[in-house]
Structures are given as structure tokens and as C-alpha cells.
Amino acid sequence: MCSMKGTGFMYSPLGVNTVEKGGEKVMSKRMTFLLFFMAVLLFAVPVLAGTGGTEFQEIYTTLTDWTTGYLGKALAAGIFLVGVAMGIVRQSLMGIVLGIGGAMAVNYTPNILDAVVTALI
């Protein structure tokens, strides 16, 4: 440890700083936080998610049906047409690209979410 003469401050290369007050060493706020964080990690309880929730099955099915059905296709077409109009008005291809991206997001997001949530390790 390095000491700064006359200040009572001790520096440790590990990032654990102590201050001497009245001849005794006192832990810094960083060390206190580090010890608290380690205790939280030590006593953490494992949490299991995605194993139940049948009460939300009906709304999930409804939303999935909407986005993959005719409503989703109409939204995707609308987003694409707005993107084309923005591209024409701004004379840039970025509006068209954003319209295609938005349409793809509406169309493919339910499938991606199903693949991510139902994946088993």
C-alpha cells in the first residue's frame, strides 16, 4: 500500500481504499459497496420464469393472431406505404428502408419471440 504523508489516506492497488481516523483504519464507501454486492450475490435465490402464466394465454394468442393475420399484414402494408411516401417527399431511400424494416418487424416479431421464449436449454 502507498501512503500519502500527512493525509491519513492509504491507497491500495486493488481499489480498496482505507482512511485512518484516530489511529484506526476505516473502509471506504467503495469497499462497503463491494462487500454488500458480494453478499447479495452469495445469497441470491434462483428464479424460474416462463414456466406458467396460463392466465395470459388468451391475450397472447389474440395478439399473435392479430399480428400474423390480416391486421398484421394491413399494418405492414401501411407502414411500407408511409415509408415510400416519406422517401418520395424527402427524395431519399431511407424512408423506404424504414418502411420495409417496420413491415418486417410487424410480420416476423411474433415468430422471433416464440423462438426465443420457448427455447429450451
Return the pLDDT at 48: 61
Between 3 and 112, the higher pLDDT residue: 112
Task: Report the C-alpha gap between 32 and 12 in whole angstroms.
Answer: 15
Is the pLDDT assigned to residue 2 strictly greater than 60? no
Percent of the chain with pLDDT over 90: 4
Return the pLDDT at 74: 92
Amino acid found at 6: G
pLDDT tens profile 48-58: 655 666 788 88
Beta strands in 16-120 (DSSP E): 18-21, 24-27
Q: What per-residue string of b and e applies to 83-96 under the rule 16 or more CB within 10 Å gives b?
A: beeebeeeeeeebb
Q: Output 12-16 pairs: Cβ under 8 A, ≥24 positions apart.
A: none
Going by pLDDT thresholds of 50, 70 and 90, the confidence category of residue 37 is confident
- Residues, the chain: 121
Here the cell at position 31 is: 469497499
